[in-house]
Structure 1
Amino acid sequence: MPIIALIIIGAAAGFLATRLMRLETDIITTVCIGMAGALLGGLVLRGLLAVMGFMAGFIGAVLGALVLIWLWQRYTAR
């Protein structure tokens, strides 16, 4: 995936995931969470992407970002 597309999808997925998890972060952190979530979700949902196309990739990115936020809240809040 080109780096520009990863940043754009990461920003959108990170924004959506941080809002769903009610997490207040700065823009850089939001984009990084979204990009890492896109990578994680892309790896997990690669088969779904082949079947359903671009939208499955975005859903995977959001789900991956949600998992990362959950892990972050769980292990850094202590």
Structure 2
Amino acid sequence: MTIVLFLIVGIAAGFLATRIMGLNTDPLTTIAIGVAGALVGGFVLRTLVMVSGWMAGFVGAVLGAILLIWLWKIYRR
């Protein structure tokens, strides 16, 4: 059940992050960005802020996905 919730949060975070950053990607890329962002942002945010719960994971996932999109845009040039 935890993996399914993790994927759902990652998908939602990827969708939200791509819309915030104005990136037009296919669904598979959006999901990959969200899940990677959930890994990066979720763990970093939980470690740094020491906040537990799924909401902290979601916020971290969105922030992590935005960070990945930003890095992708910079290094893609």
Deviation at 1:15, TM superposition (A): 0.2
Gaps spanning 5+ residues in structure 1: where? none
| Seq. identity, % | 63
User: 1-10 vs 27-36, which deviates more?
Assistant: 1-10
Q: TM-score, normalised by structure 2?
A: 0.88
Contact kept? 2:11, 2:30, Cα under 8 Å? yes
User: 1-10 vs 18-27, which deviates more?
Assistant: 1-10
The number of residue pairs the alignment matches comes to 76
Residue identity opposite 2:39 in structure 1: L
- RMSD across aligned positions (CA): 1.6
1:23 corresponding residue in structure 2: 23
Kindly report structure 1 stretches of 4+ aligned residues shifted beyond 3 Å: none
